[in-house]
């Protein structure tokens, strides 16, 4: 908290020390993982105030990507040198929206998590990309299923707050 109050010459010194420590520990080389972004769905049961990604089913631009779209994006990403497929999505939209539940049934799935697992498997089997999922709050069974088809997993921790 005290660092947030630093200003003037002390702020300049703070930035200088932070840069020196960063360079000493991490070096000056920036590394990144080439990944293609696969937004599986932008429907979400939550309403986080900061989120510009989320849509309601009747909003323009609301979607679930089809398996063909997932493969198309993945294959194009691989052609462009990507090594990972980053899956993102809204959190369990079927819990809030009957339209999301219907769409998942049309696609042959009972939940967004079932669909995610299947799409990760599809990418893993049909492309050279390694899936990385960043879904919402998961249960232990979800983690176990995703472990089988993901090189790594992320968790949107902001979804775990009660407010």
> Can you give the residue range of the structural domain that contains 48?
35-160
- Whichever domain contains 93, its CATH number is 3.20.20.70
For 81-105, how does the pLDDT look when each residue is reduced to its tens digit (9 = 90+)?
999 999 999 899 999 999 999 999 9
pLDDT value, residue 74:
98
User: 63 has which bridge partners?
Assistant: none
Q: What pairing do the DSSP bridges indicate for beta strands 35-41 and 84-89? A: parallel
Report residue 30's pLDDT band, with 50, 70 and 90 as the boundaries: confident
Which residues have CB under 8 Å from 115's CB, separation 6+?
40, 64, 104, 107, 109
Total domains in the fold of the chain: 1
Can you read off the two tokens belonging to residue 91? 């959190």
For 43-84, how does the pLDDT look when each residue is reduced to its tens digit (9 = 90+)?
999 888 888 889 999 999 999 999 999 999 999 999 999 999
The answer to whether residue 85 is domain-embedded is: yes
The answer to whether residue 142 is domain-embedded is: yes
Closest to 93 (Cα-Cα) out of 132, 53, 46: 46
**Positive or negative: CA dihedral 124, 130, 132, 138:** positive
* CA dist., res. 61 & res. 55, Å (int): 7
pTM above the 0.85 mark? no
The answer to whether residue 56 is domain-embedded is: yes
pLDDT value, residue 162:
56
The answer to whether residue 101 is domain-embedded is: yes
The answer to whether residue 12 is domain-embedded is: no
The answer to whether residue 2 is domain-embedded is: no
The answer to whether residue 9 is domain-embedded is: no
Give yes or no for a contact between 95 and 43, defined as CB atoms under 8 angstroms apart: no
Closest to 103 (Cα-Cα) out of 18, 41, 28, 22: 41
The answer to whether residue 135 is domain-embedded is: yes
């Amino acid at each position: 908290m005290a660092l947030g109050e630093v200003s003037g010459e002390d702020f300049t010194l703070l930035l200088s020390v932070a840069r020196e420590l960063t360079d000493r520990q991490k070096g000056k080389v920036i590394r990144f993982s080439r990944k293609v972004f696969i937004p599986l769905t932008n429907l979400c049961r939550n309403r986080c105030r900061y989120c510009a990604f989320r849509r309601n089913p009747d909003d323009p631009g609301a979607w679930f990507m089809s398996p063909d779209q997932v493969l198309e994006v993945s294959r194009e990403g691989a052609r462009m040198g990507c090594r990972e497929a980053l899956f993102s999505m809204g959190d369990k939209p079927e819990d809030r929206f009957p339209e999301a539940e219907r769409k998942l049934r049309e696609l042959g799935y009972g939940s967004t998590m079932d669909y995610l697992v299947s799409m990760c498997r599809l990418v893993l089997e049909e492309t050279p990309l390694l899936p990385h999922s960043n879904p919402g709050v998961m249960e232990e069974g979800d983690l176990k299923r995703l472990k089988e088809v993901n090189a790594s997993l992320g968790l949107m921790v902001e979804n775990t707050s009660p407010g």
